[in-house]
Amino acid sequence: MRTRIAFFLAAGVVAAAPLSAQQPKSGNPILQGWYADPEAHLFAGEYWIFPTYSAPYNQQVFLDAFSSKDLVTWTKHERIVDTASVKWARRAMWAPSIVEKDGWYYLFFGANDIQSDSQPGGGGIGVARAKSPAGPFTDYLGHPLIDKFHNGAQPIDQMVFKDKDGSYYIVYGGWRHCNIAKLSKDFTSIVPMPDGTLFREITPQGYVEGAFMLLKDNKYYFMWSEGGWTGPNYAVAYAVGTSPFGPFERVGKILQQDSTVATGAGHHSVIQSPASKNWYIVYHRRPLGETDRNHRVVSIDQLFFDQKGMIQPVHITRDGVVSDPLRR
């Protein structure tokens, strides 16, 4: 990484010091309050994070968002969507995923934590949309987009992924199963893939939940969370494939607890700064000494790829990352 030099004058002597040493750091956690399952994005010249409000299920009736120009100072946007604007959702609004398309922001979310196809009141993965990433978002469909178990996957923890041909896919699933499905151009339905399949299972070894997909250098990095979300062994692992359908063979863990820093590090997303070109992993973890399962916080650390394109294990920190302004 290039070191930019700042000069200062002291006692008639000109000295040099790395500018990075003088720049503010984000610290960890980066968001105030109990939040989890963060999805990070770059929208309209700002960094954005869309997390789950980490609380008992019956209190999870809204979603907040956060924006920043530099990864250090964050602005809270309260209740960008809630159950008042999504009539079929009653509780457990989880793991938002968002994309911008044709001037609209589409927010995909899980709700109601359904345990079977016949659960009273239903639920599953829904879609809301707004003209701004800060909302307010309103229900787009009036019903869930995915409201049943397919291939054993609970309809939660969705991530919407744009492929290099412009197609959009939803990758999702709990209960140790992960599906991929193709979205219609207007995001109102699931459409058949070339082989006629609607929901294709792509579950790799060790998968539990928290799917995330990244396209870099024509490689598809499929990442997920494994272990128990309430325990210290929660972690992120990954695989690499040549298409969004795999096959995906597990490479190994890239994010996990450090018992001197925090436990239960998992359910993440990845962004790259267009300014510095640095890669960052945004994830949740549990502060040391916390035993309440909902006491989770959002943190950020730098992510590195080696010369072969493999992801290096992340060292979770208390300091977080150095300020990375989008406008220099």
> Could you list the active site residues?
37, 209
Which structure tokens are listed for 69?
Answer: 């120009």
Q: Which residues pair with 126 in a beta bridge?
A: 109
Q: How far apart are CA 91 and CA 135, in angstroms?
A: 19
Q: How far apart are CA 264 and CA 260, in angstroms?
A: 12
* SS3 (DSSP) at 102: coil
Q: Around 41, how many Cα atoms within 13 Å sit in the side-chain half-sphere?
A: 21
Residues 222 and 204: beta-carbon distance below 8 Å: yes
Category of 206 on φ-ψ map: left (φ > 0), alpha (ψ -120 to 50) or beta:
left
Q: Around 217, how many Cα atoms within 13 Å sit in the side-chain half-sphere?
A: 7
CA end-to-end span of the chain: 17
